[in-house]
Amino acid sequence: MSDAAHAFLSAMDKLPRFDGFSFRGLPEGSEPPRTVVATTGVHASSRSPRVATEDFTSAALLVLLNRTARSISEFSAHPEEREVVVLPGTVWRPLVELTVPGYSGAVYVIEELDLTQSLPQPTEWGATLAELAGRVQRVVQQDLHGERSAVNVPGKFAGTWSGQEIQPS
């Protein structure tokens, strides 16, 4: 690992955990995780579906149920992007695919697994799958009816999800 990558990850480790929703746009032809995967790199995501999909131009929306990501909005040159960083090595499983009235793309929800079984259950997710689906749909619909946003760095929040499949032992 390069010195710059090591310094970046070391800085991220010093920030508090973020345990809520964030979003990432998926381009046409990009597949969401279909099995349990560990991320193989850093992924930028946004608390805003509109920002993540570059103003709803992405083919699909990936909803991340984070447990250990890091919110870096307060340090960003563009705090309105509401950036959340997903760290390498986090383990994810597909949870549910949703439709959101008014949004033509598929919405894929993936959950970060708590391999340590020591983290509190995030309250933003809801207690049931139906409650989670309703919350995700409300957030996406709010952004659909909100104001357009500038795309400051094309591809920053929209792109493939790189992960390596985890084989059960």
CATH assignment at residue 97: 3.90.176.10
Mean pLDDT of the chain, nearest integer: 91
6, part of any domain: no
87, part of any domain: yes
Of 37, 40, 38, 44, whose CA–CA distance to 18 is shortest?
Answer: 44
Confidence of residue 14 (pLDDT cuts 50, 70, 90): confident
168, part of any domain: no
Give the predicted TM-score (pTM) of the model.
0.92
78, part of any domain: yes
167, part of any domain: no
Residue range of the domain that includes 105: 11-114+123-147+156-161
169, part of any domain: no
55, part of any domain: yes
Structural domain count, the chain: 1
Decide: 126 and 51 in contact? Cβ < 8 Å: no
92, part of any domain: yes
Which tens digits make up the pLDDT trace of 121-154?
888 888 899 999 999 999 999 999 999 988 999 9
Higher-confidence position of 14 and 90: 90
